[in-house]
Amino acid sequence: MLKIAVLVSGDGSNLQAIIDSIENGYLNCSIEAVISDNIKSFALQRATKKGIPIYVFPKKEFGESIGDEILKVVKGNVDILVLAGFLSLLKGEILKKFEGKIINIHPSLIPLFCGKGMYGEKVHESVLKSGVKITGCTVHFVDEKVDGGAIILQKAVPVYFEDDVKTLKERVLEEEHKILPEALKLLSENKIFIKDGKVQIV
């Protein structure tokens, strides 16, 4: 069984999608830890309700060393780290120790609307401002570049003229909640390989 840790900063709807996918038998995974950089993250309540161990390393206190603290928790206990709305950047040793074993969900079609400073609602604001008619979401591996690792899965979502951030975010989240569990399922079944910086699904 794939052992995962889920890193969160906010609402945790993606964490909930993983929990639901495990409970309904879609995913053969166990969530060993939910880790947050924000004590106010509602995701922590979702985890506590399910008896999942939680760890909090507040951003202000830990700053750039947060990756080292997380590594202490997950080393030897976890196969995959899932960044599900986690707003701190992981740096240093953890990226080496978990190379090819950290995935992130991003609310746009990478390489569009991503990179430094492009997170949360800012992504949807930029999408709406640009006038594009299609956006979406991406699950990708994490490396030292922000939103730069190999792309695992993407799903396109239409953008309507009448959309605001709330309606667009909801439509994108609906797809996020499908492709994040799907990516974990593929990983748990050893169906994902990285070749020349690209993901091959077998």
Q: How far is the CB of 121 from ligand GRF (least distance, A)?
A: 9
Among 44, 102, 103, 107, binds ligand GRF (CB under 6 A): 107
3-state helix, strand, coil in the chain (%, to 5): 35, 25, 40
Counting contacts by CB under 6 A, is residue 14 touching ligand GRF? yes
Range in contact with ligand GRF (rule: CB under 6 A) among 28-36, 71-79, 102-110, 157-165: 102-110
Counting contacts by CB under 6 A, is residue 10 touching ligand GRF? yes
Strand 102-106 to strand 54-56: parallel, antiparallel, or no bridges (unpaired)? Answer: unpaired
Counting contacts by CB under 6 A, is residue 174 touching ligand GRF? no
Range in contact with ligand GRF (rule: CB under 6 A) among 70-78, 104-112, 147-155, 159-167: 104-112
Q: Nearest-CA neighbor of 145 among 193, 98, 95, 93?
A: 95
Task: Report H helices in the chain.
Answer: 13-23, 42-49, 59-62, 66-74, 93-97, 121-130, 165-188
Active-site residue, 124 included = no
Residues found in the chain? 202
Among 7, 105, 150, 179, binds ligand GRF (CB under 6 A): 105
Question: Of the two residues 83 and 94, which places its CB atom closer to ligand GRF in the complex?
Answer: 83
Return the bridge partners of 3, or none. Answer: 30
Torsion angles phi and psi, residue 72, rounded to 5: -60, -35
Q: Catalytic residue positions?
A: 106
Question: Could you list the residues that contact ligand GRF (CB under 6 A)?
Answer: 10-14, 84-85, 105-107, 120, 173, 176
